[in-house]
Structure 1
């Protein structure tokens, strides 16, 4: 489990370029909505609130998917179910690496699956703008976690193979913590962080490393 958590953290961190592109507009809007917050230090409390809410949302999603995986293990032959879920996780990691490296954008189609739910949730978060209190930041961050995102969906499918609701929650929490430096930096530094998107080699490096994780997973699957 420890190896999976470390890998999930690294996937979140290496996917930072995608996070900046996908969530950059949201982070900028939230930053601009903060009254009288002109410096990074003044923006920090509410930025932490947004991201704490986001991590809670990810953890809940991970628990739901981990619990679903646990249910599948209960109703399918154990060995076959474990191998099937692990193989699905390895495939999603491979596709995620191709997605992050911008060599193949097929995972973007997954985002359409959550678009209908997002159309329902997004207005709820909008009602709390502008943010003036910590509970508002926490709530907006929780809603933010449900934004349709191929990166998040890939790790959620991976969490199916975790074996329990708790393991799924921890996996998504580790992933969320990996995204934290990039999105927190975006909120505090605004345009300076966004300029990282102009370096395609960073995306390609991140994609190649995640593909490496996938190949290791395939090797472990075939070796057992």
Structure 2
């Protein structure tokens, strides 16, 4: 993974505590196989294999949707390439990306809920996507196979999420569809460990992630990334050592 994408990966990793509430229920349900009343622990390998395949397929579909959204955002940025090369607009975009990151940190800490307004705007897309989920609903007493779970994940990836929207600003600043997709791939891979754990451990992990101390710690770290980037944008930090810790306008260029 290019060094410039590491901050995006870490934001996904830390921000995935938010996924416990947004997606924890559905990914936990995916690990239940017919005849089982609860998620199968990984140590029961023969029984866990179908659950693991379902969870992996779901997450592959989810990350693919993130990449599609990133490619769209990056393409928009590429379309405005002539303007983006203006120093003032480049600087403004960099400030916006790190401001969104700071806002995400406050959002994760439950200290400020402004990103929820972006989620409300995302309902315009979600209202068109949500009805499609009925086509991948499991029959009573049965579980979905990996193919349908891939489709379910691809649809669920469009669920309104302030965390995703904040990273899409960075994807737009990448300046190309390929760059935007790469930014969202790094973000999606960052969320993957947590969502795999939620799918295979279910309520036990969700209970831990809902602890206020966990959310505060993760949110504070994300907030720190954003503030560090803003201080750098103001010219208060040298670029040499801090480059790998900040989201930059050319993160995937």
TM-score over 0.5 for the pair: yes
Aligned to 1:26: 26
Please list the CA deviations of residues 172-222 of structure 1 after superposition, one character each: whole Å capped at 9, or x if unmatched: 111111111111111111111111134211111111111111122112222
Aligned partners of 1:52 and 1:119: how far apart in 2?
Answer: 22
The answer to whether the aligner puts 1:99 opposite 2:99 as a matched pair is: no
Aligned to 1:64: 72
Matches within 5 A, 1:1-224: 2-32=2-32, 34-36=33-35, 39-40=40-41, 41-42=48-49, 43-130=51-138, 131-223=143-235
The alpha carbon displacement at 1:29 in A equals: 4.0
Higher helix share: 1
Q: Give the structure-2-normalised TM-score.
A: 0.82
Structure 2: runs of 5+ lacking an equivalent: 42-47, 240-253
- Higher CA-based Rg: 2
Aligned to 2:251: none
Is the 2:28–2:201 contact (alpha carbons within 8 Å) kept by the matching residues of 1?
A: no
Is the 1:52–1:138 contact (alpha carbons within 8 Å) kept by the matching residues of 2?
A: yes
RMSD: 1.9
Q: Give the structure-1-normalised TM-score.
A: 0.92
* Residues 50, 104 of structure 1: alpha-carbon distance in 2 compared, 3 angstrom cutoff: same
Please list the CA deviations of residues 43-71 of structure 1 after superposition, one character each: whole Å capped at 9, or x if unmatched: 10011000001111111111110111122
Aligned partners of 2:63 and 2:210: how far apart in 1?
Answer: 27
The alpha carbon displacement at 1:108 in A equals: 0.9
Is the 1:62–1:171 contact (alpha carbons within 8 Å) kept by the matching residues of 2?
A: yes
Q: How many pairs align?
A: 223
